Amino acid sequence: MYKFFVNTNQIEENKVTIIGQDVNHIKNVLRFNTGKIVCICDKDKIKNYKCVIKQIDKKFVVCEKLEEILESNETNVNIHIFQGLPKFDKLEFIIEKCTEIGVKEITPVIMKRSVVKLDDKDKNKKILRWRKIAEVAAKQSGRDKILKVNDIINFENIFEKLKEYDIVLIAYENEKNNTLKSVLKDVSIKNKFPKIAVLIGPEGGIDNYEIELIKQNENFNIVTLGKRILRAETAPIVISSNILYELEE
């Protein structure tokens, strides 16, 4: 069943109105007709409804709610990826795949070894594009929530944000002993609904200066992801998958 996201104000009792780019997708790409059954997700309230298309217009599609879908496709594990800003094609890949896996949030971080430079105008354009990629991936994978893509921040500004999490993981290629598995075993015992922040470096990895700042925080866990060095776009997928394998109910 195809899935579409709407805001609460697009739902009026049993009537749901789809607007925007989804209209063209329904009408001209999928070529749906009235009578087609679809899934509509209220992204404000995180509620899914089985609906039937009643009217297709140039600017809107009207659906009728048939029933609420009570099953949830979301994980109990709240993963927030703080991703060292890589080249844009790589970040698009990361956003798409992390959405499919079940990551809840991603924040691009300008780090010392980030090679990409952006002005404010370019930042806004990129963020809009990244959020659209997250929405498309959420539809494809049947998510109930669209991965939240935050504004780009500088490395020095992440520390206050990281204090909000039950556990902070720093994936670092030069760490040899502290494994992800050993850290996650303690988490699973203490908390069934953990909030986990993960910091991944850009293409060049995390700089020594940044590691020294990280080490000043006792509650941060610098971990190895194995004997092989992973690419910037591979690491968040590997670590997120392993976290969910260990902790998801």
Residue 189 pLDDT more than 80?
Answer: no
pLDDT of residue 154: 94
Shared-domain flag, residues 83 and 183: yes
CA distances from 103 to 14, 21, 145 (A): 31, 25, 10
The domain that holds 34 is classified in CATH as: 2.40.240.20
Q: Are residues 119 and 236 in the same domain?
A: yes
| pLDDT above 90 for 227 | no
- Please compute the mean of the pLDDT values over residues 156-163 and round it to a whole number: 92
Say yes or no: 83 and 62 in one domain: no
Provide the number of structural domains found in the chain.
2
Domain enclosing residue 21, as ranges: 3-69
Domain boundary among 34, 69, 104: 69
pLDDT at 114 over 70: yes
CA–centroid distance for 93 within its chain: 11
Q: What are phi and psi of 172, to 5 degrees?
A: -135, 125
pTM over 0.85: yes
What pLDDT score was predicted for residue 9?
95
Domain match, 49 and 86 both: no
Residues 158-162: what's their mean pLDDT?
92
**187/67: higher pLDDT:** 67
Mean pLDDT of 218-244: 92
pLDDT in tens, 49-102: 999 999 999 999 999 999 999 988 889 899 999 999 999 899 999 999 999 999
R_g of the chain, CA atoms, integer Å: 20
The more confident residue out of 215 and 186 is 215
Same domain, 31 and 111: no
Q: Is the pLDDT of residue 190 over 80?
A: no
- The tokens for 132 are 């659209």
Same domain? For 27 and 106 the reply is: no
Which pLDDT score, from 0 to 100, does residue 107 have?
A: 97
pLDDT of 188 higher than 60: no
C-alpha–C-alpha distance, residues 121 and 186, integer Å: 43
Tell how strand 47-56 and strand 37-42 pair up: antiparallel
Q: Rounded to 5 degrees, what are φ and ψ at 144?
A: -95, -15
Of the residues 49, 69, 89, the one at which a domain ends? 69
Pair 65, 164 in one domain: no
Q: Could you tell me the pLDDT band of residue 217, with boundaries at 50, 70 and 90?
A: confident
